[in-house]
Structure 1
Amino acid sequence: MAEAYPWQAALWQTLAGRTQHAHAYLLHGPIGIGKRALAERLMARLLCRSPVGLDACGQCKACLLLAAGTHPDNFILEPEEADKAIKVDQVRELVSFVVQTAQLGGRKVVLVEPAEAMNLNAANALLKSLEEPSGDTVLLLVSHQPSRLLPTVKSRCVQQACPLPSEADSLAWLAQALPESSAEECRELLSLAAGSPLAAVSLQGQGVREQRAQVVEGVKKLLKQQQAPSQLAEGWNSIPLLLLFDWFCDWSQLMLRYQLTKDEEGLGLSDMRKVVQYLADKSSQSKVLALQDWLLAQRQKVLSKANLNRVLLLEALLVQWASLPGQG
């Protein structure tokens, strides 16, 4: 059974407590806050034949079939390969499922995640099923980036924002999820995960703190002219491109904030505070703004899975970064 996260308690009461359900829900929010688990929990509740309070019983035929992955009235639509698009042929299979009669005589439930992975043709193919699903069918769409969804998809769903937990709730949960990590390490991971506790656990599993230390050391050597952009670009081959752009976008934003406020408390994590402050003091605001615009544009290309030359892209980033100090 999907995990019930404490920060979802109020939302769960609202969703599971409904006497009549919408034909389509769009559960959206930042990645790493438990939206998929919430959708799976709701899916189990909707398919269960003998619910106990607001939860599925876990014991009836429907619950046992769902747990085994063989429930005939359940359809999960996700990319065939990680980080790839959901294709129109996959959606056509879903549409065929939706028009069938429920084999167990109850509801049919569809889970789509991440919904923004549908390409344009796939999203258009889903519209009729979203608007008029046959029989008692409920579609649960999970999205980390609802801005990338077609307006026609969003308008056909009940849109439900999922809550980002408070820092206190996240740290309490992380203390249990990562018992070998110190409180300071958990706080650092949560910051790197932009406040999303499940993403923090995932980052810890990827060795993000070691990757971050490697990048920070490289940036410092770059500014001291001890290492060339091309060397660093090659050396960071194992670090996810999106992670690198997230960090450089964050650092450029911190620079701008410091240039405007001179608030030393707002310089981010301790590993880059002195570097951020130094660059903010030595760089013109126009150069930092221009770099941030470029970073955001390239980050969007990374998100959209554009065919990029990784090494050349990172080299271009580092050349601009190294040229920040000075007038311009």
Structure 2
Amino acid sequence: MLEPVRKPAPWHQPGWQRLTAQQDFAHAYLFTGQPGCGKRRFASAFAAFLMCDTPDAGVACDACRSCQLRLAGSHPDLLMLEPEEEGKAIRVDAVRQLVDFISQTSQQGGRKVVVLQPAEAMNVNAANALLKSLEEPSAETYLLLVSDQPSRLLPTIRSRCRVQPLNLPGADEAAAWLTEQLPDRSTDDCALLLQMAGGAPLRALSLAQVDALAQREKVVEGIKALLKGQAAPSKLAEQWNPVPIELLLDWFCAWTLDLLKLQQQASDAAVSADMDKVLGYMAKKLDVAKLLAWQDWLLEHRRLFASKANLNRVLFLEKALVQWKNLLERR
């Protein structure tokens, strides 16, 4: 759903000021950046700004009739287009609805705005249907596309949009912002959340809201027990059932990368704070060829889960844990 916000994240303020200070706006924008960097918030605030009757200092007033309709989720000239279910495709019928929306006269007599996210979720037919709207723009109608993976979009779509990359904040700014949002969390907790989120503050905040730290602690303790021979892979696979598979895959991919860096004695080897001893021990014992083979297997299964392949979660985790433990067994 479209967040009812009127300002972007603080670290995007310079780009926001340049954008809203313009006199003429592009018909279509493509906001890109790492998941959790704040691009959806940026697009939401820009949609609010475009639709506001009396924007103040570059932000929506939240008081005019147009803003009140938007805040109530009932503005007839604002269309939010996203997959019906998370991870599913945006299909051609939904984009045809967008085309019909664009062709109609504004019901409030002002601008019309469409926010489409994530844009890469469009299947081929949907993307081709969108091209017509991009090629024949309607006056005072704006398309705001949001994408984590712009390379998956048709080149013809990207070329018809004004691309606005949105970066992550610096480490210090990210930590300060997250600490402010989570006053009950320790500095170490916030640092770990940011590490888990790849430095993306909004992603880190969402992880805190689903209690990912407690889930992570359970998983780390399970890994330690596995390597000590105190827990069986099948038992851990069942115990980890409440943990989202996306988080487990992210953590194992990050730990694998840390192991590779430690093996190569890379200068940027940044070991996970809660796994430093475990990974340091494993890096001294494992076989590099087996580690590379494991990484290939893990990345392939991460791709399969991302594409919603019909995989048995418990069997996958059990096999993954067997392979993880076997990394320490020399040939």
Q: Which interval holds the TM-score relative to the shorter structure?
A: over 0.9
* 1:130-171 deviation per Cα after TM superposition (whole angstroms, max 9, x unaligned): 222222211001112223323232222111111201111111
Query: Residues 103 and 267 of structure 1: is their aligned pair in 2 closer, same or farther, counting only changes over 3 Å?
Result: closer
Q: Distance in 2 between matches of 1:151 and 1:306?
A: 27
- 2:328 matches 1:325: yes
Q: What is the match of residue 285 of structure 1?
A: 288
- Deviation, structure 1 residue 262: 6.5
Q: What is the match of residue 124 of structure 2?
A: 120
Q: Distance in 1 between matches of 2:16 and 2:95?
A: 28
Q: What is the match of residue 15 of structure 2?
A: 11
Secondary structure of residue in 1 paired with 2:264:
helix
| Runs of at least 5 residues in structure 1 that lack an aligned partner in the other structure | none
Counterpart mapping for 1:227-306 below 5 A: 227-261=231-265, 266-306=269-309
Q: Distance in 1 between matches of 2:85 and 2:306?
A: 16
Secondary structure of residue in 1 paired with 2:79:
strand
CA contact (8 A) 2:255 2:272 kept: no
Secondary structure of residue in 2 paired with 1:266:
coil
- 2:153 matches 1:173: no
Partner of residue 56 from structure 2, selected from 30, 33, 52: 52
Q: What is the match of residue 142 of structure 1?
A: 146
- 2:83 matches 1:79: yes
Secondary structure of residue in 2 paired with 1:219:
helix
* 1:39-68 deviation per Cα after TM superposition (whole angstroms, max 9, x unaligned): 111111111222223122222222222122
Secondary structure of residue in 2 paired with 1:111:
strand
Q: Distance in 2 between matches of 1:321 and 1:277?
A: 15
Amino acid of the structure 1 residue aligned with 2:231 = Q
Q: Distance in 2 between matches of 1:12 and 1:219?
A: 44
- 2:131 matches 1:101: no
Secondary structure of residue in 1 paired with 2:226:
helix
Q: Percent identity of the aligned residues?
A: 52
Amino acid of the structure 2 residue aligned with 1:55 = V
Count of aligned pairs: 327
Partner of residue 204 from structure 1, selected from 205, 208, 225: 208
CA contact (8 A) 2:78 2:112 kept: yes
CA contact (8 A) 1:110 1:140 kept: yes
| Runs of at least 5 residues in structure 2 that lack an aligned partner in the other structure | none
TM-score if structure 2 supplies the norm length? 0.94
Secondary structure of residue in 2 paired with 1:261:
coil
Secondary structure of residue in 1 paired with 2:145:
strand
CA contact (8 A) 1:267 1:277 kept: no
Q: Distance in 1 between matches of 2:156 and 2:241?
A: 39
> Mean alpha-carbon deviation: is it higher for 286-295 or for 144-153?
144-153
* 1:88-128 deviation per Cα after TM superposition (whole angstroms, max 9, x unaligned): 21111111001112222222110011112222222222111
Q: Distance in 2 between matches of 1:151 and 1:262?
A: 36
Kindly report structure 1 stretches of 4+ aligned residues shifted beyond 6 Å: none
CA contact (8 A) 2:197 2:203 kept: yes
The alignment's C-alpha RMSD in Å is 1.7
Secondary structure of residue in 2 paired with 1:181:
coil
Q: Distance in 1 between matches of 2:74 and 2:234?
A: 51
- 2:94 matches 1:90: yes
Q: Distance in 1 between matches of 2:188 and 2:330?
A: 38
Amino acid of the structure 1 residue aligned with 2:314 = V
Query: Residues 262 and 128 of structure 1: is their aligned pair in 2 closer, same or farther, counting only changes over 3 Å?
Result: closer
- Deviation, structure 1 residue 322: 1.1
